Amino acid sequence: MDRLLPHLAPTSDESAPLLLAVTGMGGVGKTALALESAHRARAEGWFPGGFLFVDLRGYDDDPATADQAVVALLDALGVRGSDLPPTTARQYDTFRTLLAQRHDRTLLILDNASDPSQYLPLLPGTDHHRVLITSRERPDALPVRVIALEALDPDESAALITRALHYADERDDRPTREPDALHELTALCGHLPLALQIAAATLRRRRHRHEGIASLVEEIRAAGDPTTALDNGSPGTDLYGRSLVLRPVLETSYHRLREDRARLLRLLSLAPDSETTTEAVAALADADTTSVLAPLEYLAAAHLVTPVRDDRAQGSMPRWRLHDLVRAYGMSVVAGDAGLRREGEAARQRVLALYVRWADAATHRLRRVAGGQDSQGRFVTRQKALEWLDRERAGLVAAVRWAAEEPFTAAAVELASHLAMYLEWRRFFDDWITVAGIARSAAHRSGDRIAEARAWDHLGIAMRDTGRAKEAVDAHTRALALFRTSGGHAGEARSWNNLGLALLSARRLKEAASAHTQALELFRAVGDRLGEADAWGSLGISLGAAGRPEEALTALARARDLYQAVGDRLGEANAWANLAFAQRDARRMNEAIEAYGRSLEIFEEFENWYGAGQTLEHLAMIHEAVGARDQARAHYLRACDAFTLADAPDRATRARAAAAALA
């Protein structure tokens, strides 16, 4: 109301808008805002002539025409029966004349308009009065002040339901007793006022059953489509006599769309995430990005989608957000028609193929140093690849969930594999465990034993990185068994190496060294020099942990040399860091400082800020151990900055505290 009310106040500013429009999707509360604001403005004395209201029924099966509306408005002005002019033209003349002669400032509310032809003939020919239009569509062709309404925020939604329950019974303490269920209910309602009203009314009727909010949440979840579940409990009408039903509101907006726009809205509802890039929308529609922009902009003007600008991607096309209830409605339309289901499957295949292609290109770009670009020609820099992965992460993870459905399994499993390096790099371990678990189950169902083994390996690495060493050992053991029975010798070697690292985390040091030795032999047998470098590095770590420093140093130096020989810079960075750790244990402090410096240089080159932060911490510890407190403090502060860039706030806080202790 704070956005609308000031525009209704009398002003001497000649540029003040004469025409106001409240727009938003169906059910967002446009009429309620218009009427409440009108009453408030009249109470302030701004409209001594009161207000005239007409419902244009723009989204009904039989919308009112301007000719019908002018008769209703004349009736409100006292012109009826034999006084009513016999022709439409004279009726409009009479209406405008009466408004022009009306000295008391009046507000004309033209509610629920769907087309300019419904209200343009009704505009008064005077600037003395004000006109307020409500519509689901933005009147871009008119000089009008637009107040666009959006869904409520979560706290406002919870407050709406709480107030509604307390008005009916002040002893109703369900919102206080079930705060989590209350917020879950508001989320299922999409924070849309109409849906929230229906949910509140349903809860009011059930208060004598002693049923909690959680029971309604379960009903809605079980129904699958919130629009259907909420309408089943609809109480009838609201204070303004309008039906409290949700699905018909969405249906009327959908059925008014031209077929190409309706198709785009349906396909957009099938996207993996609630926000979708223009490029992904084009893939869904099997079109180019330019051709989908115009229909998307129309859907945005109709408040069926919302354009979202990404400040991190300057100059890029917008993303498009679909309201949860519109999304649920669109999915139900597709589910109810065999032809639309086939169309939807093809669309999902296209967007999944797009994600697989770009995720593969982005991952390859992360592995390379500055210069050049990926094979797809998309990611000129590593930072661009990371930015794309960061923006698309929610959609990429959601797309992997499609692996549970045919015919998406193979592509979704491949996507999960491409995401592994990025999710580890950014330390999104929860997401990594999720996608690896989905890929493992899907590959098992499809009988792809190599993909299943690879997924078990990824799951094990993620578990090890989150401190779940015992589960990691089990995961790698399962991967190893699958690679053995499927003839994947390179995969078997990697599983041995990963198993060794998990055993090391579990402090099973002798078994860890044995596993790394087994990996080393297999990598040599298949001629995999990069794998051999990995195995030497892992073996060196195990030997160092087992108290065999000289053997550890030899193994780690072999790993470094092999990484350099094959040109794996990130592997070299890790090898230098591991070698430095072993040198520090052997009290070779100067050599350790030099090795950590080489490691840090490469980590910073790759913008691997977590690795850089760890290296700087170790450098700080060495300088602190030899009494160089100022240098140690400087390294801790740099480590804090690196961990902040890596989105590791706990590690950043720890590094900052260590620096403060040396101040």
Domain shared by 105 and 205, yes or no: no
pLDDT digits (tens, 9 = 90+) for 296-350: 999 999 999 999 876 555 456 789 999 999 999 999 999 999 999 999 999 999 9
Query: What's the pLDDT at 234?
Result: 57
Which residue range is the domain that position 239 belongs to?
A: 154-245
Distances (CA, A) of 570 to 375, 563, 567, 580: 20, 8, 9, 15
Mean pLDDT of 507-525: 95
Please state, in angstroms and rounded to a whole number, the distance separating the CA atoms of residues 576 and 560: 7
**Confidence band of 376 (pLDDT split at 50, 70, 90):** low
Query: What's the pLDDT at 380?
Result: 84
- Contact residues for 601 (Cβ-Cβ < 8 A; gap 6+): none
Please state, in angstroms and rounded to a whole number, the distance separating the CA atoms of residues 91 and 74: 8
Domain-located, residue 191: yes
- Average pLDDT of the chain, as a whole number: 91
Find where tokens 């296209």 sit.
350
Domain shared by 45 and 115, yes or no: yes
Query: What's the pLDDT at 312?
Result: 54
- Contact residues for 557 (Cβ-Cβ < 8 A; gap 6+): 579
> 425 and 570 in contact (C-beta within 8 Å)?
no
> 269 and 327 in contact (C-beta within 8 Å)?
yes
Domain shared by 174 and 131, yes or no: no
Handedness of CA 568, 554, 536, 475 (dihedral sign): negative
CA angle 145, 148, 151 (to 5 degrees): 165
Among 34-48, 233-247, 274-288, the range scoring the smallest mean pLDDT is 233-247
Mean pLDDT of 131-156: 90
Contacts by residues 173-176 (CB-CB < 8 Å, ≥ 24 positions apart): 174/203, 174/207, 174/212, 174/213, 175/213
Domain shared by 22 and 124, yes or no: yes
Q: How many domains does the chain have?
A: 4
User: Is the pLDDT assigned to residue 240 strictly greater than 60?
Assistant: no
DSSP tag of 112: E
Tell me the percentage of the chain whose pLDDT exceeds 90: 76
Domain-located, residue 437: no
Nearest to 176 by CA among 162, 188, 187: 162
Nearest to 420 by CA among 432, 434, 437: 432
Mean pLDDT of 168-194: 93
DSSP tag of 292: H
527 burial level (CB within 10 Å; 0-12, 13-18, 19+): exposed
Domain-located, residue 163: yes
Two structure tokens written together for 274: 């609630």
Domain shared by 241 and 289, yes or no: no
> 403 and 442 in contact (C-beta within 8 Å)?
yes
- Contact residues for 348 (Cβ-Cβ < 8 A; gap 6+): 270, 284, 402, 408
Grouping H, G, I as helix, E, B as strand and the rest as coil, residue 141 is: coil
Domain-located, residue 504: no
- How distant is the alpha carbon of residue 113 from its chain centre? 32
Please state, in angstroms and rounded to a whole number, the distance separating the CA atoms of residues 591 and 318: 51
User: Is the pLDDT assigned to residue 371 strictly greater than 50?
Assistant: no
Nearest to 589 by CA among 619, 610, 631: 619
Domain-located, residue 539: no
> 113 and 133 in contact (C-beta within 8 Å)?
yes
Q: What are phi and psi of 321, to 5 degrees?
A: -105, 135
Tell me the percentage of the chain whose pLDDT exceeds 70: 94
Query: What's the pLDDT at 242?
Result: 58
Domain shared by 167 and 238, yes or no: yes
Two structure tokens written together for 615: 């290296």
Nearest to 137 by CA among 245, 252, 47: 252
Using the 3D structure, point to which of 193, 222, 245 is the last residue of a domain: 245
Paired with 146 in beta bridges are: 21
- How distant is the alpha carbon of residue 32 from its chain centre? 30
CATH number of the domain that 326 lies in? 1.10.10.10
CA angle 362, 314, 399 (to 5 degrees): 40
Domain shared by 108 and 38, yes or no: yes
User: Is the pLDDT assigned to residue 375 strictly greater than 60?
Assistant: no
Handedness of CA 273, 274, 275, 276 (dihedral sign): positive
Using the 3D structure, point to which of 148, 177, 194 is the last residue of a domain: 148
Using the 3D structure, point to which of 100, 130, 148 is the last residue of a domain: 148
Helix orientation angle between 338-366 and 324-335, rounded to the nearest 10 degrees: 120
Nearest to 114 by CA among 58, 56, 61, 30: 58
Two structure tokens written together for 288: 């180019």
Please state, in angstroms and rounded to a whole number, the distance separating the CA atoms of residues 380 and 566: 23
pTM above 0.75, yes or no: yes
User: Is the pLDDT assigned to residue 528 strictly greater than 70?
Assistant: yes
Domain-located, residue 197: yes
CATH number of the domain that 143 lies in? 3.40.50.300
Strand order in the sheet with 305-308: 275-277, 319-322, 305-308
Helix orientation angle between 154-168 and 193-205, rounded to the nearest 10 degrees: 30
- How distant is the alpha carbon of residue 101 from its chain centre? 55
Query: What's the pLDDT at 372?
Result: 46
pLDDT digits (tens, 9 = 90+) for 602-617: 999 888 899 999 999 9
Please state, in angstroms and rounded to a whole number, the distance separating the CA atoms of residues 280 and 49: 52
Please state, in angstroms and rounded to a whole number, the distance separating the CA atoms of residues 300 and 662: 56
Beta-carbon neighbour count of residue 106 at 10 Å?
22
Q: What are phi and psi of 55, to 5 degrees?
A: -90, 115
pLDDT digits (tens, 9 = 90+) for 351-368: 999 999 999 999 988 877
Please state, in angstroms and rounded to a whole number, the distance separating the CA atoms of residues 152 and 25: 12
Domain-located, residue 458: no
DSSP tag of 152: P
> 301 and 236 in contact (C-beta within 8 Å)?
no
DSSP tag of 448: -
Among 108-122, 225-239, 355-369, 393-407, the range scoring the smallest mean pLDDT is 225-239
**Confidence band of 107 (pLDDT split at 50, 70, 90):** very high
Domain-located, residue 503: no
Give one DSSP letter per residue of 200-249, joined into a string. Answer: HHHHHHTGGGT--HHHHHHHHHHHS-HHHHHHHT--SB-TTS-B--SHHH
Please state, in angstroms and rounded to a whole number, the distance separating the CA atoms of residues 57 and 248: 13
DSSP tag of 379: -
Please state, in angstroms and rounded to a whole number, the distance separating the CA atoms of residues 618 and 593: 9
Domain shared by 163 and 283, yes or no: no
Domain shared by 31 and 85, yes or no: yes
Two structure tokens written together for 298: 């129309």
> 269 and 330 in contact (C-beta within 8 Å)?
yes
pLDDT digits (tens, 9 = 90+) for 474-495: 999 999 999 999 877 889 999 9
Query: What's the pLDDT at 506?
Result: 95
CA angle 421, 425, 426 (to 5 degrees): 120
Domain shared by 252 and 240, yes or no: no
Please state, in angstroms and rounded to a whole number, the distance separating the CA atoms of residues 551 and 555: 6
Nearest to 424 by CA among 378, 474, 467, 459: 459
pLDDT digits (tens, 9 = 90+) for 557-593: 999 999 999 989 989 999 999 999 999 988 899 999 9
Domain shared by 195 and 294, yes or no: no
Domain shared by 94 and 168, yes or no: no
Two structure tokens written together for 510: 């002798």
